[in-house]
Amino acid sequence: MWLVVFLVWVLLWVGGSYWYLFGKRSPFSLESVRPPAPREFDQRKRDKVIKQGFSVDRVPQDLDVIVIGSGIGGLTAGATLAKAGKKVLVLEQHDQAGGCCHTYIEKGFEFDVGLHYIGQVHENSLLRIAFDQISEGQLEFQELEQHFDTIQIGEGQELREYTIFSGKTAMKAHLMKQFPDDKEAIETFFKIMKVCAKKTHYLATLKLIPQWVSLLLLKSGLADLVSPVFKLSGTCATDLVNTLTSNRDLHVIFSYLFYGVPPKDSSILINALLVHHYKRGAYYIKGGASEIPFHIIRTIQKYGGNCLVRAPVTQILVNDENTAYGVKVRKGQEEFEIRAPVIVSNCGIFTTFQKLLPREISIQKEMQERLNMMRHGRGSFLVFSGFDGTQEELGLVSTNFWLFKNNDMDKSMEDFFALSKEEAPDNIPMMFITMPSAKDPESKIRHPGKSCMTILTMVKYEWFEEWKDTAVRKRGDEYYNYKMRFAQNLFDWACKLFPKIKDKLVFQDVATPLTNCHYLGAQRGAMYSAEHNLDRFHSEAVARNRCNTPVKNLYISGQDVFSCGIAGALHGGLLCASTVLDHIVYIDLLLLKKKLKRRKAKELAQLERKKIQ
């Protein structure tokens, strides 16, 4: 009798698991991907998609999902849910959709705001397949030169330069040539990179299976028996690299892709994943970063949804049963209620919980526990410069430059963020330089004879906080003069690398954390959203930081779900869609990947047969 009961239970469990994993219709298909259409250069036609202003008559009827924020995380969740049969409305507070994926044009120059380059979009990669599905094959990626990053450490006579190459074997081999005495350290770091890259999906799984199961696996130690990735996630980057080598320049190489957190406070998993991200090549979007929202929005529209800008959400509506059922949108002096059974917030956990939810809900214990898991990220400071001249005339290249005043990232970042407001502009320890006009071959068509450069560094919000209540572009001379001190020092540093740009500068714009608050809705100007500190990536914290929230039918998407950057936010969108649908869409993507690999193998076999004949 008990044997029968046990067998029935096993059959039910196996059948239920199979149905959960494979029994629901996939939102993705190979048939939905079509060859890229000719690029749309008519800005008026593009604006009809990415700059469609909010009005009540443009809101689709019988909505299933409202997404707050049109960054890549929100658009990914929206497009995935749309392809699953949901009618989706994306609401964006800025006058252009895209979040950090948008570009802006000023005086004939086009600048990328947040997407400077992207990796892991080589043929049939999981990320490429995801992009193809949510854009229905309309995005094209331009591979950069193999030498995609240059790192400079030190100043004057003490300056050292290192180059980073892409390639499955070339990246490691090229580093070993530059650090011949540290081959073992590099070998070990690349082994860690491989584990992190291949097993990160285990960490994502913690967010998708029942939380009590995740915590049981972690607390019992069973998870650690499966993979070392759970311990690596909570391992301090500085502590680990100190065990590999005493070469501080190499320490910088292992953590050079900075995101506002010093290595001593960051996870080795995140730093390793960032380097690994470009191992198979660095890419740029043909036509510029705004191609991403342009095509994903059209996917959402194809399935009956829409994306509306100039639509600031002022409140998430929650009923007495603690269930979200809609939002309030401000237009002029009026507020409009829009209702849907599912609300997805892509504007960050702090904005969602502290600003958009009613106070009586935001102060609840469960909400505060979720907030206490996060800290505010560092603000970003950007300098956008336009030059009269081609990249060849100015000596600009597609390679990115990461500059550091010294090789102690922990101390230099700690010292910098401890400076007073007055001292900070003259003591910037690091910066990043990218030249979007040199990366996109179509830039010469859209903006002939012009070149542009974006410079980025991390700053404290508190240095700019006194002007937070002033209006954008009307913050006064004192604010302007202060931000230009930062900008001038950064630009002068860039001129040491590219001396020809100094006399060809015809336009310059500067974005502070306050700018990012206004245009991106970034809390405290943090473009990378909540801080990516070590505590956040301990495996138990990863398991608890989920897409679903204590408010029923309210979900979180984007960078605060897992990690920063375009790829991190996109995965946040996929995790969010999986949670809403109660269906792991990654399985669908992996099945597509297998089909595509089989198709590729057949094509190669046919080519070989033709050669033989």
**Are residues 335 and 459 both part of a single domain?**
no
Q: Is residue 531 part of a domain?
A: no
Is position 10 within any domain?
no
CA distance 432 to 493: 11
**229 and 327 co-located in one domain:** no
| Domain's final residue, options 496, 525, 554 | 525
For the entire predicted model, the pTM comes to 0.94
Q: How confident is the model at residue 17 (pLDDT cuts 50, 70, 90)?
A: very low
Cα distance between residue 611 and residue 46, in whole Å: 45
The string of pLDDT tens digits covering residues 137-168 is 999 999 999 999 999 999 999 999 999 999 99
Of the pLDDT bands very low, low, confident and very high (cuts 50, 70, 90), residue 22 is: low
- pLDDT exceeds 60 at position 255: yes
For the domain that residue 319 is a member of, what is the CATH number? Answer: 3.50.50.60
Tell me, yes or no, whether 13 lies in a domain: no
Which residue, 143, 410, 159, is CA-closest to 261? 410
Q: Of 470, 493, 525, which closes a domain?
A: 525
Question: Does 501 lie in the same domain as 400?
Answer: yes
Confidence of residue 300 (pLDDT cuts 50, 70, 90): very high
Given 465, 490, 525, the domain boundary residue is: 525
Question: How high is the pLDDT of residue 4?
Answer: 47
What was the pLDDT predicted at 590?
96
Q: Confirm whether 557 is domain-assigned.
A: yes
Rounded Cα gap, residues 83 and 299, in angstroms: 8
Which pLDDT band, with edges at 50, 70 and 90, does 14 fall under? very low
Yes or no: say if 379 and 460 are a contact pair by the CB < 8 Å rule: yes
Evaluate if residue 330 carries a pLDDT over 80. Answer: yes
Residue 534 pLDDT class (50, 70, 90 cuts): very high
Average pLDDT, stretch 353-379? 94
In-domain check, residue 610:
no
The token pair at 282 is 């660095």
Domain count of the fold of the chain: 2
Q: Are 258 and 274 in contact (CB under 8 A)?
A: no
Q: Please give the Cα distance from 37 to 42 (Å, whole number).
A: 14
Task: Please check whether residues 171 and 274 belong to one and the same domain.
Answer: yes
Burial of 360 (0-12, 13-18, 19+ CB in 10 A): exposed
Q: Are residues 366 and 414 in the same domain?
A: no
Q: Does the residue 534 lie in any domain? A: no
Same domain, 335 and 257: no
> Confidence band (pLDDT; 50, 70, 90) for 610?
confident
pLDDT number for residue 5: 44
**Residue 457 and residue 579 in one domain:** no
Is the predicted pLDDT of residue 127 greater than 90, yes or no?
yes
450 plus 395 within the same structural domain: yes
- Residue 16 pLDDT grade (very low, low, confident, very high; cuts 50, 70, 90): very low
Model confidence band, residue 2 (pLDDT cutoffs 50, 70, 90): low
Summarize the confidence of residues 363-370 as an average pLDDT.
93
Q: What percent of the chain has pLDDT over 90?
A: 92
pLDDT in tens, 482-532: 999 999 999 999 999 999 999 999 999 999 999 999 999 999 999 999 999
Confidence check: pLDDT of 465 > 70: yes
Q: Is there a single domain that holds both residue 513 and residue 399? A: yes
For residue 288, the Cα-to-chain-centroid distance in whole angstroms is: 16
Q: Which pLDDT band, with edges at 50, 70 and 90, does 609 fall under?
A: confident
Q: Look at the block and give the residue holding tokens 């609300």.
A: 343
Which positions ≥6 away from 579 have C-beta within 8 Å? Answer: 207, 208, 546, 547, 548, 555
Please report the pLDDT score of residue 1 as a whole number.
55
Give 434's pLDDT tier (boundaries 50, 70, 90): very high
Question: Using CA atoms, how far apart are residues 561 and 373, in angstroms rounded to an integer?
Answer: 12
The residue range of the domain holding 342 is 29-136+286-374+545-599
At residue 533 the predicted structure's pLDDT band, cuts being 50, 70 and 90, is very high
- Interval 64-91: pLDDT, tens: 999 999 999 999 999 999 999 999 999 9
The pairing of beta strand 342-345 with beta strand 65-68: parallel
- What pLDDT is recorded for position 12? 46
Same domain, 190 and 264: yes
* In a shared domain, residues 163 and 221: yes
Whether residue 309 lies inside any domain: the answer is yes
Average pLDDT, the chain: 94
What is the structure's pLDDT at 23? 60
User: Sorting pLDDT into bands at 50, 70 and 90, what band is 19?
Assistant: very low
Lateral strand order in the sheet of 147-153: 160-165, 147-153, 400-404, 430-434, 450-459, 379-388, 505-511
CATH of the domain at 228: 3.90.660
Across residues 584-598, what is the average pLDDT?
Answer: 96
DSSP-derived letter for residue 463 is G
77 within some domain: yes
Read off the pLDDT of residues 555-582 as tens digits, 9 standing for 90 and up. Answer: 999 999 999 999 999 999 999 999 999 9
The Cα 248–Cα 447 span in angstroms is 42
pLDDT in tens, 392-416: 999 999 999 999 999 999 999 999 9
Do 113 and 212 belong to one domain?
Answer: no
